[in-house]
Amino acid sequence: MKRAILLISCPDQKGITASIANFIYKNNGNIVHADQHIDEQADTFFMRAEWDLTGFKVSPDDISKKFQPFAKKFRMKWNLYFSKQRPRVAVFVSRQLHCLQDILLRQRAGQLACDIPLIVSNHPAAKALAHDFGLHFFEFPITPANKRAQEKRELEVLRAAKINLVVLARYHQILTADFVRHYPNEIINIHHSFLPAFAGSNPYRQAYQKGVKIIGATSHYVTARLDEGPIIEQDTVRVSHRDSLEDLMRKGEDLEKIVLSRAVRWHLERKILAYNNKTVVFD
């Protein structure tokens, strides 16, 4: 079934829901999902509307133009998506491959509605896995000296492959603000801690030394500030004094895979709106 999805945010006022619902209904669309949220503190309205395009009177190419007057009237930030557009995803990875593997298996199983044409890494570790899945593999070793040059080459690769979403699946390099600027709210990272606790490197070691009784994982959009972008999803698992550092890592891996894959799926399903360094995740 072909569907269109609108993601909207704007200052709250009367009549927004009615206007959008009318726009869809009067053009013969059938809303299959609609959800809205008002942040009363920020006085901001958010909406996600998904409708069936079967019999819709406006052709997909014209929807944006026809919707523009409503958007202008309510001063909306908005995006229009179509279910037939399969986002193109690049996965960045370093030496630990469990998250990459998990994403590739889920994509193959039909759980992630996207194409994954390529893998980028600063290490050769993922080369065989990329090969197994028939994907292009780009190795860009990073040093402080070559970082900007390598990022430039990475950006060229992404551009050439028409990538819409970059997934950092345990990619242990900090992207420059310059790189991030090209993909605003289009880079998803998995951090192996319950942020904001244990930001930075070696979070499992930090957690082990602190003696916490629960560990977590956090997926978030990447911004210029390390590990501080809008949080998309978190989950936790119980640990005890019996768990060694290695146990924390092993338990954490399962969390990382689940938390990252949820975030990627929700992004692909256009369920996430980022604002004020937070997210609305429609369910």
Provide the b/e sequence for 213-252 (b: ≥16 CB within 10 Å).
eebbbbbbbbbeeebebbbbbbbeeebeeebeeeebbebb
Query: Of the ranges 11-19, 60-68, 69-77, 135-143, which one interacts with its own copies (CB under 8 A)?
Result: 11-19
Among 2, 38, 77, 141, binds its own copies (CB under 8 A): 38
Among 2, 26, 152, 225, binds its own copies (CB under 8 A): 26
Return the amino acid letter for 117. P
Could you give the CA distance from residue 185 to residue 40 in angstroms, rounded to a whole number?
A: 23
Strand ranges in the chain using DSSP code E only, listed in sequence order: 3-11, 30-39, 44-52, 77-82, 88-93, 115-121, 136-139, 165-168, 187-191, 214-221, 231-238, 272-275, 278-281
| 213 lines the binding site for its own copies (CB under 8 A) | yes
Residue 37, CB-side half-sphere exposure with 13 Å CA sphere? 18
Inter-axis angle of helices 60-73 and 16-26, nearest 10: 160
Toward its own copies, which CB reaches closer, 129 or 157?
129
Could you give the CA distance from residue 53 to residue 107 in angstroms, rounded to a whole number?
A: 25
- For residue 229, the minimal CB distance to its own copies (Å) is 10
Question: One symbol per residue from 185 to 204: x for binding its own copies (CB under 8 A), - otherwise; what is it?
Answer: ---------xxxxx------
Span 77-116, contacts to its own copies by CB under 8 A: 98, 101, 105, 109, 111
Toward its own copies, which CB reaches closer, 179 or 194?
194
Is there a catalytic annotation at residue 227?
Answer: yes
Residues binding its own copies: number (CB under 8 A): 64
Toward its own copies, which CB reaches closer, 87 or 216?
216
Residue 154, CB-side half-sphere exposure with 13 Å CA sphere? 27
Among 60, 81, 133, 236, binds its own copies (CB under 8 A): 236
Residue in 115, 227, 243, 254 annotated catalytic: 227
Catalytic positions: 227
Query: Which residues form the interface with its own copies (CB under 8 A)?
Result: 13-15, 17-18, 21-22, 24-26, 28-41, 98, 101, 105, 109, 111, 132, 194-198, 210-214, 216, 230-236, 238, 240-242, 244-245, 250, 254, 258, 276-281, 283
